Amino acid sequence: MNKIYWTLFIHHEWQLYMATTENGLCYVGSQGKPYEEMEVWLAKRFPKYELVEEEEEEALSPYKNEIKEYLNGTRREFTVPVELKGTAFQLSIWDSLSKIPYGEKKSYSEIANIIQNPAAVRAVGAAIGANPVLITIPCHRVVAKNGALTGYRGGLEMKERLLTLENGDL
């Protein structure tokens, strides 16, 4: 049986569950959410995998290092591999999100236009909400057309903190 290694990443006030397959990061959770959220999320997408708590600090080390550097304000882009499971539409949205530069924001309608489907704004929002790797695929950079902060799997407080961090207001 394939394995997914997981850990609770703790850095200053941040507490996030993270998980990786042998192919790459497959889950970054919401600030302060319980283990069960990760367990349910992964079971739906990786049903034939066994969850194994990382004890040796090996499997997740590169991922934890990059997220720690990001949260410290010293990393702007992620280079670690990710393993994403989703529909072709979701994958196209997540790819678009990955191209939003650090410190910039896009609206849901701008993302719909980028994928050349301007009528798909609601579907874009649903795909963004299904993003399995928060922070590394920067869905926090997507806001309402008027600039307001709207829906975020990690909660609006986490979204605001990430945007504040990117604007240099640590």
* Nearest residue to 16 via CA among 36, 31, 26: 31
Concatenate the DSSP letters of all residues of 62-128 into one string: HHHHHHHHHHTT---S--S-B-----HHHHHHHHHHHTSPTT--EEHHHHHHHTT-TT-HHHHHHHH
* Burial class of 17 by CB neighbour count within 10 A (0 to 12, 13 to 18, 19+): buried
Structure tokens at 64: 């934890």
Catalytically annotated residue among 16, 19, 139, 143 = 139
Site of tokens 């993302």: 111
**Using CA atoms, how far apart are residues 133 and 38, in angstroms rounded to an integer?**
11
Looking at the DSSP bridge assignments, the partners of residue 158 are none
Whether 26 is catalytic: no
CA torsion 30-140-66-75 (nearest 10°) is -150
Residues recognised as catalytic: 139
